[in-house]
Structure 1
Amino acid sequence: MASITVSMSLTSVPFTKTLPRTSLASIKPIEKFLASSLMGTRTSTLKTSRPWTIGLRSVSSGITCSTSSSSPLPSALLFDCDGVLVDTEKDGHRISFNETFKERELGVTWDVDLYGELLKIGGGKERMTAYFNKTGWPEKAPKSEEERKDFIASLHKRKTELFMALIEKKLLPLRPGVAKLIDQALAKGVKVAVCSTSNEKAVSAIVSFLLGPERAEKIDIFAGDVVPRKKPDPAIYILAASTLGVDPSSCVVVEDSAIGLAAAKAAGMKCIITKSGYTADEDFLNADAVFDFIGDPPEERFDLGFCGRLLEKQYVS
């Protein structure tokens, strides 16, 4: 008798429950049974002579997806930095931008809501340029386009210095589950990289100071101006796959934003969203899975095994 699994995807998180053969016909509708299974066991088997797969998209909460020894492993696990490794934007980058503007006496302040809108533009230099183009350049800014590029670069350099000081003081913690997932990947020989539009020095500081030097030496970093076009362009993820020597289709990306999701999918990769403070309401319809965070036990949302199973396309979302 064939043994298959009836699964329910809670934001693409599998739930399965054992059913006696005689009870299959009595489930009308099947969704009623699945709903009642939410607090039950996570993995078991339904014996039947025909396949039966059901996928429902919802919101995950307090659910653990355990590693399966039979699951494939990604060739590479690629993380965005800001909002994924650390929720840096509101109380990290935004504060550092504002301190820079204040030091230079530009008369500019980015409040929480405004910065949320500006985050739709990938890259800090690009963000400032777009803002000044729209609202008008400060009086202290140069007039020529070439000089303005240097002006923006100098602002961004100082902003990065201020941001790195926050990271070095460990005032911004890692998000739950980040270290766990990276450790699982490294232990299994899965390549790990961070792919970010942020300045390379800032990303390196986060990886080194918050993940520690032992992990940092095993993690590749692709950041800042390493590619000419920022997310949502897929260039940084394509570069990462090429440099690491892996097929994009065997990579799993962890992102927090719609522009990051667009970049990952355009590169031909699976993408898991872990929502951050600024991105909770963005459209993640094309994501392979959506969670509020990665999580550590007992509040783990997913692990390396779940990342591997995404490659098998077992889950309907």
Structure 2
Amino acid sequence: MPALIFDCDGVLADTEQYGHLPAFNQTFADFDVPVQWSVEDYAVKVRIGGGKERMRSILTPALALQLGLKDDDAIDAAILSWHKRKTEVYKGLVESGVMPARPGIARIVGEASDAGWTLAVASTSAEPAVRAVLTHAVGESLAAQFSVFAGDVVPAKKPAPDIYLLALSDLGVSPEDAIVVEDSGNGLRAAVAAGLRTVVTVSGFTREEDFTGASLVVSSLGDPDGEQAEVLENPHGTDVPGVVTLTTLQDLLAYPGPGDAGSAPTTDTEIP
């Protein structure tokens, strides 16, 4: 059976601006770190894969000295403490319901589950945070069907392909039978480097990024009775009737993946 693998932040829910950013800022305040990121600041920081890595990016030698972090061990310990607190704050925001699922997520997960597809999340965020977002987005029953690959399970984070390669290996799925939903250029590059076809659902921080190599770029997956999917890039001319459906994904799987030559479908399936 095919596999459907989601990124978390910006894909399952619009978590960056309304979850991670305020959680980072609350954490900095809690630890008396004299940093508060604006939305504009965070639009730059979000390009760094991983929360601990984003936190580490603020620690200039001068700031580390000001905070009494005299060596690498002290810095590492501080970042672990900060990140633990940040995850707690973030989970609270998720559970408060301030970040609803993005359009089409629960619908397409339900379709994939009914069809027997393998479901997974591959994210650089901490696993407790990913599971909280996933459960809030699709409900406990569907969330229980997911394999979750998150946080520090691989040493190199996106745009490195490591987390997707790990997911494929653990799931026992070949790249030819898997499709990814991402929202960022870093995530797309990670998936493409793993040989995976990728649908991009752009978010507020990523709409202007380069999505060369994507199989389809849309504003969201869309819902029949709600927000419609705006098609931004459609290199295969796949039919997207206002929503991305499981049939859409099956059509995309018929085309060669990033590591394959040619552009024609790989099966006899008729592609609109």
Q: Which TM-score bucket, shorter chain as reference?
A: 0.7 to 0.9
Give the aligned length. Answer: 243
Asked if the contact 1:294/1:301 (under 8 Å) is kept, the reply is yes
> Which aligned runs of 4 or more in structure 1 are off by greater than 4 angstroms?
none
- Contact 1:291–1:301 (8 Å) recurs in 2: no
Q: Percent identity?
A: 44
SS where residue 119 of structure 2 aligns? strand
Matched, 1:292 2:219: yes
- Counterpart residue identity of residue 310, structure 1: L
Aligned position for 1:159:
86
Match of 2:54 in 1: 127
SS of the residue 1:131 aligns to: coil
Of 191, 199, 205, the match for 1:272: 199
Deviations 1:70-126 (A, max 9, x none): xxxx61000000000001101110000000111111111011011110111100001
Distance 1:288-1:148 versus aligned 2 partners, 3 A rule: same
Distance 1:259 1:93 in 2: 17
- In the other structure, the counterpart of 2:171 is 244
Deviation at 1:136, TM superposition (A): 3.9
- CA offset at residue 209 of structure 1? 2.9
Match of 1:132, SS state, is coil
- The partner residue of 2:132 within 205, 216, 223 is 205
Aligned partner of 1:183 in structure 2 is 110
Q: Distance in 1 between matches of 2:62 and 2:53?
A: 14
Q: TM-score, normalised by structure 1?
A: 0.74
More displaced, 275-284 or 203-212? 203-212
The amino acid across from 1:283 in the alignment is D
Structure 1: state its 5+ residue gaps: 1-73
* Cα drift, residue 167 of structure 1: 0.8
* TM-score, with structure 2 as normaliser: 0.86
Whole-Å separation in 1 of the counterparts to 2:65 and 2:130: 29
Residue of structure 2 equivalent to 1:81? 8
SS at match of 1:192: strand
Instruction: Write the distance in 1 (CA, Å) between the matches of 2:126 and 2:213.
Output: 27
Q: How far apart in 1 are the matches of 2:58 and 2:187?
A: 20
Higher Cα Rg, which structure: 1
- Does the residue aligned with 2:58 lie in a helix, a strand or coil? helix
Where 2:59 maps in the other structure, the secondary structure is helix
Matching residue within 180, 184, 196 for 1:257: 184
Correspondence for 1:224: 151
- Residue type of the alignment partner of 1:291: V
**Counterpart in 2 of 1:144?**
71
The correspondence of residues 28-67 of structure 1 with structure 2, limited to 5 A, is none
SS in 2 for 1:294: coil
Distance 1:311 1:134, change over 3 A: farther
In structure 2, relative to structure 1, the CA distance for the partners of 1:301 and 1:154 (3 Å cut) is same
The one-letter amino acid paired with 2:79 is I
Whether the 8 Å CA contact 1:132–1:138 is kept in 2: the answer is no
Selected match of 1:301 from 243, 262, 268: 243
* Conservation of the 8 A alpha-carbon contact between 2:104 and 2:222: yes
In 1, distance between residues paired with 2:104 and 2:129? 21
TM-superposed CA distance for 1:189, in Å, is 0.6
TM-align CA RMSD: 1.6
**Structure-2 change in CA distance of 1:295 and 1:137 (3 Å):** same
Deviation for aligned residue 1:301: 2.6
- The residue aligned with 1:102 is 29
**Distance between the aligned counterparts of 1:206 and 1:112, measured in 2?**
21
